[in-house]
């Protein structure tokens, strides 16, 4: 190779290296911000300030979720000094020396970890010069006992924080609780850092992003020894943490508290809805617990396992996840479908044929009103047979499949067999059996109405959640339509309008004879819910006695009031309590009294309910 060619090779090499160097420098400074961030971290400290969570109010602007000041005892190991008196410090906080050493090891292993989002790795980032929480969630009283002695223990100082506080010990299944974020949550959302809290259930979970607010940032210039020197650029780039606007719920906390009181020593639930808005007024799950038991890491670790192991399942949200056969309240829907299909009219009567199915002793139901009033089982077997087998096909098997497909569409228009849209998580759909369901059991075209007739009276394969049942009461009150049942009323000053209005497949005119029957259920002597009667208030209701293969029947009742322009619709289930008119009906009437009259006008009824002990293993 001659000298001239060698010179060109050297020049090309220099140019190539230069281009690569320039490109790498451009990538590091412009595209990849990790090096820039690291350089800034050496000279300045970016401190994120987390605001307290938003406050929550009920429909009457009563504060039901607030924040309470707590303290963390922080430690900077580098400032502790070689003469730190571990024994005296252990006595101050009520620990042993061994526990002190174990806590330091826990901090190094657990909280001294750095997550690098650029390469998705976690490395030990513990530094003796950084502050870490040694004790978390100390109350004012606990901190007041420790703080006066901290001058004798260099490296330890107090830091103010906040946690949830529930002024009313009610609504635990509605409001939910918080707990510390896990590694996956920290990775998926950069709002969170280790030791932050996040909503785990209920309103706290569903509205997590609306409740958490906006973090602020303070920049501080640090020395080479990592000590604060001054504000960066005199605080020009600092931002203030912003607490999120409050959330107002449709919940009535006093009604909720009263419902929980009525359901003491009972297992079951109460769901009350304002019909014209879909706002949930009360949602009682019994047995329940004080939501303050699950505030803070210490409480969660102590009480959550106890609640989880409790045989009565206080953590189980019965109103939204328990699925029961609806029993005789389902007869209301069957009546409406029969009227809409034209296979029944208001004056259709059937014999009370007890050889077909057992029934109460009552006069023969000469109309839909009377059939609802008496809750006649044979009547609805005949009525639903007309719905399912309308003679549109020559084969009774094909005809039944065709009829059940139509029946299923009606059921879905009421929201049955589907998860209702709501602002609670973990909702269940219940079960509405269809042709595919029975084809799997019996084979295609190998079943007819006589095979599935138990669905006529809300037994067999039909299942609903209590929320579905209360929503049925709201549909009856509205004469055929409903809003998605929900809690949120306003976020800040802005009304929540994301919940939709739904229309059933039944015209409003068909509701009146059925509602007349519901009125008779409560207000006439031959009705099945005389214990739900309220003086000067027209209550319309329907009892249900739900067969339970595991024990006594469940007591069920749904109602709305007043009859005209109703303002409350309600469903009550008391497990293992027998006939629907015995316990569920009076509990519902007391709730209606409390909501409409703001007081109890039936003290004897109230005493009877409060003294009842209906819990069974």
pLDDT of amino acid 136 = 84
Beta bridge partners of 114: 123
Write down the pLDDT at residue 8: 67
* Strand arrangement of the beta sheet that strand 540-546 belongs to: 280-286, 268-273, 568-574, 554-561, 540-546
What rounded mean pLDDT belongs to the chain? 87
Q: How far apart are CA 372 and CA 390, in angstroms?
A: 22
pLDDT of residue 110: 66
Share of the chain above pLDDT 90, in %: 59
Cα separation, 6 vs 8, in Å, equals 5
Q: What is the pLDDT at residue 39?
A: 45
Per-residue model confidence as pLDDT tens digits over 339-387: 999 999 999 999 888 778 877 888 889 999 999 999 999 999 999 999 9
DSSP state of 416: T
What average pLDDT does this structure show over 57-67?
96
Tell whether the model's pLDDT for residue 77 goes beyond 90. no
Cβ atoms of 539 and 566 closer than 8 Å? no
Task: Indicate the helix (H) or strand (E) that contains 304.
Answer: helix 297-309
Cβ atoms of residues 352 and 378 within 8 Å: yes
The pLDDT value recorded for residue 4 is 64
**Per-residue pLDDT at 104:** 86
CA angle 522, 420, 470 (to 5 degrees): 10
Contacts 24+ apart (CB under 8 A), 447-451: 447/397, 447/400, 448/389, 448/396, 448/397, 448/399, 448/400, 449/384, 449/385, 449/388, 449/389, 449/396, 449/400, 449/403
Average pLDDT, integer, range 571-581: 94
3-class DSSP state of 163: strand
**pLDDT score recorded for residue 407:** 97
Q: Check residue 225 and give its pLDDT.
A: 46
Q: Is the pLDDT of residue 40 over 50?
A: no
Ranking 9-23, 224-238, 247-261, 405-419 by mean pLDDT, the lowest is 224-238
> 503-561, pLDDT tens digit by residue?
999 999 999 999 999 999 999 988 999 999 999 999 999 999 988 877 789 999 999 99
Strands (E), 214-296: 216-222, 228-231, 247-249, 268-273, 280-286
pLDDT at 247 over 70: yes
Position 26 scores a pLDDT of 61
Predicted confidence (pLDDT) at residue 41 exceeds the cutoff of 50: no
Is residue 518 exposed (0-12), middle (13-18) or buried (19+ Cβ within 10 Å)? buried
The helix/strand count (H/E) of the chain reads as 22, 21
Mean pLDDT value of segment 327-340: 97
CA distance 176 to 253: 15
Least confident of 21-35, 129-143, 176-190: 21-35
Q: How far apart, in whole angstroms, are the C-alpha atoms of residue 262 and residue 285?
A: 11
Which range among 19-23, 25-29, 113-117, 182-186 shows the weakest confidence by mean pLDDT?
A: 113-117
226-231: long-range pairs with CB below 8 Å, 24+: 226/127, 226/129, 226/130, 228/45
Per DSSP, which regions of 22-120 are E strands? 44-49, 56-57, 63-75, 113-116
Q: At 599, is the secondary structure helix, strand, or coil?
A: coil
Q: Is pLDDT of 228 > 60?
A: no
Tokens standing for residue 336: 């409406």
Contacts with 187 (C-beta within 8 Å, 6 or more apart), sequence order: 115, 117
H or E stretch including 560?
strand 554-561
Q: How far is CA 263 from the centre of its chain?
A: 20
Nearest of 40, 395, 402, 410 to residue 232 by alpha carbon: 40
Rounded-to-integer distance, Cα 441 and Cα 117, Å: 52
Residue 295 or 9, more confident:
295
Range with lowest mean pLDDT among 235-244, 465-474, 538-547: 235-244
Using alpha carbons, select from 180, 468, 214, 137 the residue that is nearest to residue 323. Answer: 468
Prediction pTM value: 0.83
Cis peptide, bond prior to residue 287, ω within 30 of zero: yes
pLDDT of residue 125: 64
Q: H-helix or E-strand containing 136? A: strand 132-138
pLDDT digits (tens, 9 = 90+) for 482-500: 999 999 999 999 999 889 9
């Amino acid at each position: 190779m001659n000298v001239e060619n060698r010179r060109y090779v050297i020049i090309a090499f220099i140019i190539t290296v230069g281009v690569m160097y320039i490109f790498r420098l451009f990538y590091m400074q412009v595209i990849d911000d990790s090096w820039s961030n690291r350089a800034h971290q050496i000279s300045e400290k970016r401190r994120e300030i987390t605001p307290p969570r938003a406050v929550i109010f009920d429909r009457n602007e009563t504060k039901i979720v607030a924040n309470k000041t707590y303290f963390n005892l922080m430690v900077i190991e580098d400032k502790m000094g070689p003469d730190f008196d571990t024994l005296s410090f252990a006595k101050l906080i009520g620990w042993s020396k061994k526990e002190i050493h174990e806590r330091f090891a826990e901090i190094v292993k657990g909280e001294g970890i750095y997550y690098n989002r650029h390469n998705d790795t976690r490395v030990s980032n513990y530094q003796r010069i950084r502050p870490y929480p040694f004790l978390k969630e100390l109350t004012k009283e606990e901190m007041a006992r420790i703080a006066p002695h901290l001058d004798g223990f260099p490296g330890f100082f107090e830091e103010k924080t906040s946690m949830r506080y529930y002024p009313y010990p009610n609504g635990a299944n509605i409001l939910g609780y918080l707990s510390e974020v896990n590694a996956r949550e920290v990775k998926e959302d950069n709002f969170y850092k280790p030791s932050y809290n996040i909503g785990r259930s209920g309103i706290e979970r569903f509205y997590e992003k609306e409740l958490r607010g906006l973090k602020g940032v303070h920049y501080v210039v640090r020395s080479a020894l990592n000590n604060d020197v001054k504000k960066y650029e005199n605080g020009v780039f600092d931002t203030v943490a912003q607490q999120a606007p409050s959330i107002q719920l449709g919940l009535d906390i006093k009604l909720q508290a009263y419902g929980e009181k009525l359901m003491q020593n009972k297992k079951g639930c109460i769901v009350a809805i304002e019909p014209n808005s879909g706002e949930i007024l009360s949602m009682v799950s019994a047995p329940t617990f004080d939501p303050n038991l699950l505030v803070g890491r210490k409480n969660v670790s102590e009480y959550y396992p106890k609640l989880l192991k409790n045989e009565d399942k206080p953590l189980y949200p019965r109103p939204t996840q328990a699925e029961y056969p609806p029993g005789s309240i389902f007869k209301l829907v069957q009546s409406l479908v029969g009227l809409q299909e034209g296979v029944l009219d208001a004056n259709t009567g059937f014999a009370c044929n007890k050889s077909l199915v057992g029934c109460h002793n009552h006069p023969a139901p000469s109309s839909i009103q009377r059939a609802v009033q008496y809750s006649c089982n044979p009547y609805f077997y005949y009525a639903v047979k007309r719905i399912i087998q309308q003679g549109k096909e020559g084969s009774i098997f094909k005809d039944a499949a065709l009829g059940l497909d139509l029946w299923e569409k009606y059921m879905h228009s009421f929201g049955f067999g589907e998860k209702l849209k709501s602002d609670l998580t973990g909702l269940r759909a219940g079960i509405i059996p269809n042709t595919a369901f029975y084809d799997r059991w019996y084979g295609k075209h190998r079943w007819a109405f006589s095979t599935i007739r138990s669905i006529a009276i809300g037994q067999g394969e039909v299942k609903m959640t209590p929320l579905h049942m209360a929503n049925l009461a709201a549909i009856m009150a509205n004469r055929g339509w409903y809003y998605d049942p929900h809690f949120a009323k306003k976020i800040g000053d802005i009304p929540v309008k994301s919940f939709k209005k739904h229309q059933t497949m039944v015209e409003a005119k068909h509701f009146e004879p059925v509602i007349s029957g519901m009125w008779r259920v409560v207000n006439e002597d031959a009705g099945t819910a005389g214990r739900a009667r309220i003086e000067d208030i027209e209550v319309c209701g329907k009892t249900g006695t739900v067969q339970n293969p595991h024990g006594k029947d469940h007591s069920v009742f749904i109602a709305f009031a007043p009859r005209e322009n109703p303002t409350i619709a309600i469903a009550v289930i008391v497990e293992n309590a027998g006939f629907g008119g015995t316990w569920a009906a009076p509990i519902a009437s007391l709730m209606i009294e409390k909501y409409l009259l703001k007081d109890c006008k039936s003290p004897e009824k109230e005493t009877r309910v409060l003294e009842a002990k209906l819990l069974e293993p």
